[in-house]
Structure 1
């Protein structure tokens, strides 16, 4: 596939910036800040709540377009093998979705996989995705084999009775905590992007008729700069768990020296881009997550997607009632962390 070239210049935070334009420096600064100014202009707010996380950097639009085109090409050729199966019975099949593949292509590939098992061409009209992962998020994806099972499992996800863990590779400010719980609002801003809102805004109406919903995630530091977390480290606060109830913009500076931080995330709700948004708020955006201020280039390497992995799902089987735990093997970027991600 021929990629659309990206023409840009170096940027101190992200590695590259938005495409070069024949504009004065003042005009370029104006373009970068216009969305923020509009959102903070009382005349334009129309009594809508103001998001607390910043809009996506302008340079992210071209990068995301290139990634989408590449993923479309890869997804069209994607197929599943037996090695991709994490769990299967007569009602469910769980697979390990790779990075850069759309979930709809995983569903299509499941048809081919099941046909190979049957040894003949069989129609599977009731296959259904129970959970959807972002294009660049890898890990556990569950497909149900009947509408009845799908309805029960979707209900479990909606009611948050499915327990989930994720592994995220972040680059940002060194956390002063080992465990933290973040509660905030979540919703689409005036310009359609997912953003963090204050807890006190939960329930308020947003542009387009949606409303701010609650969002909660717990995080655990697994390693910092490749070293496992030590409880007696002078760099970290000696608390069992820190709690943040978001009511104002994050005061964490991105100008500080950056570190590689691997965290395990436990989402208590199931909002779109939840972990990515909360990592951004905590000052540790995912490596490669340009939409939410993550580095695009790091230590001379350009990252073609964010590094987030759906590690495990735990739930009551919708038919047998037994407890099921499904775990996906770590991707290569997580296996590079010495011995700290096995717990």
Structure 2
């Protein structure tokens, strides 16, 4: 029998990546390693609550719903001779800012924000492991696995609720740096293209520009140009899934290294030139402190691998 380990009560606020999903399917992904029979059992018993109310397995999650997930026992994989995954890197050294209410991390590229879909441990699980003294620790928002940069975690439930409110109301400022293929002409350009989420035949989540999609607004500012590429600053006015990536790809300026919406032959060629991942970095967030109201400006420097590639472009001019 597999070894079992106790988990703690978890509070999760539903964001755009999980809205409209059935709660049983959400729990299967969130409680990786927990038998499906046990997931259905805690649903039937009322131990899982949505906005403090009992729900059944067919409940569809709504943006902003707050889930209470009870302590569960999850299976650890047995030693079957297969190679073990590399241990996640320590994240405490990537902390940009911390107080009693929140933590701002400079998330490394290649690390998912949470476990699931074949990932045993993401940022939130790793941070809880490194800081068992934190009685409450939840993601405030998400970044794609390959995207680096500023990521917020809440250390108090009141801070989480207020930060979610501020993000819904557009009271936070999020800025990214990205390198795209092609020659961007406008010094500053506002892009408003609706985005629609769908699932491919293989079960992969994707997003496309579609009139029936949700409103999405990005402001792009040209920072620097090279013969084949441009460095852009992207300011998010809405926070849709894959928003920057899809807006740029649709306009004919794919992000270099993007393995979903990018130029795949170009990506392969750039790997040989030293760019091993998507060039998208969340370099700045400006927000009011959720408890004190003080203005915070949180910045994450461009990672060394991306700096090196920009220097390479400079030498090739």
Alignment match, 1:186: 195
CA distance in 2, matches of 1:321, 1:130: 17
- Pairwise CA distance, 1:130: 0.4
Give yes or no for contact 1:296–1:302 (8 Å, CA) kept in 2.
no
Alignment match, 1:326: 298
- Pairwise CA distance, 1:86: 0.4
SS at match of 2:184: coil
Matched, 1:90 2:100: yes
Give yes or no for contact 1:79–1:106 (8 Å, CA) kept in 2.
no
SS at match of 2:164: helix
CA distance in 2, matches of 1:284, 1:323: 34
CA deviation profile, 1:168-194 (whole Å, cap 9, x unmatched):
0222x2122121111011112474521
CA distance in 2, matches of 1:180, 1:139: 23
Give yes or no for contact 2:107–2:151 (8 Å, CA) kept in 1.
yes
Residue 298 (structure 1) aligned to one of 266, 269, 274:
269
CA distance in 1, matches of 2:131, 2:199: 43
Give yes or no for contact 2:275–2:306 (8 Å, CA) kept in 1.
no
Give yes or no for contact 1:219–1:265 (8 Å, CA) kept in 2.
yes
SS at match of 1:288: coil
Q: Which aligned pairs between 1:206-225 and structure 2 lie closer than 5 A? A: 212-225=213-226
Residue 110 (structure 1) aligned to one of 123, 127, 132:
127
Residues 190 and 106 of structure 1, relative CA distance in 2, 3 Å threshold: closer
Residues 190 and 126 of structure 1, relative CA distance in 2, 3 Å threshold: closer
Residue 92 (structure 2) aligned to one of 71, 78, 81:
81
- Pairwise CA distance, 1:284: 1.6
Give yes or no for contact 1:261–1:284 (8 Å, CA) kept in 2.
no
CA deviation profile, 1:256-311 (whole Å, cap 9, x unmatched):
xx712111100110000000011112222111113113332235337543110000
CA distance in 2, matches of 1:329, 1:131: 20
TM-score by length of 2: 0.62
Alignment match, 1:24: none
Give yes or no for contact 2:88–2:126 (8 Å, CA) kept in 1.
no
CA distance in 2, matches of 1:326, 1:174: 30
Alignment match, 2:50: none
- Pairwise CA distance, 1:125: 4.0
Alignment match, 2:143: 133
Residues 304 and 146 of structure 1, relative CA distance in 2, 3 Å threshold: same
Unpaired segments of 5 or more residues in structure 1?
1-71, 116-121, 205-211, 226-257, 339-343
Residues 73 and 218 of structure 1, relative CA distance in 2, 3 Å threshold: farther
CA distance in 2, matches of 1:224, 1:136: 23
Please, what is the CA RMSD of the aligned residues? Answer: 2.1
SS at match of 1:193: strand
Residues 114 and 262 of structure 1, relative CA distance in 2, 3 Å threshold: same
Between Structure 1 and Structure 2, how many residues are aligned?
A: 213
SS at match of 1:314: strand
CA distance in 2, matches of 1:222, 1:73: 38
CA deviation profile, 1:17-72 (whole Å, cap 9, x unmatched):
xxxxxxxxxxxxxxxxxxxxxxxxxxxxxxxxxxxxxxxxxxxxxxxxxxxxxxx9
CA distance in 2, matches of 1:158, 1:305: 30
Residue 183 (structure 2) aligned to one of 162, 174, 185:
174
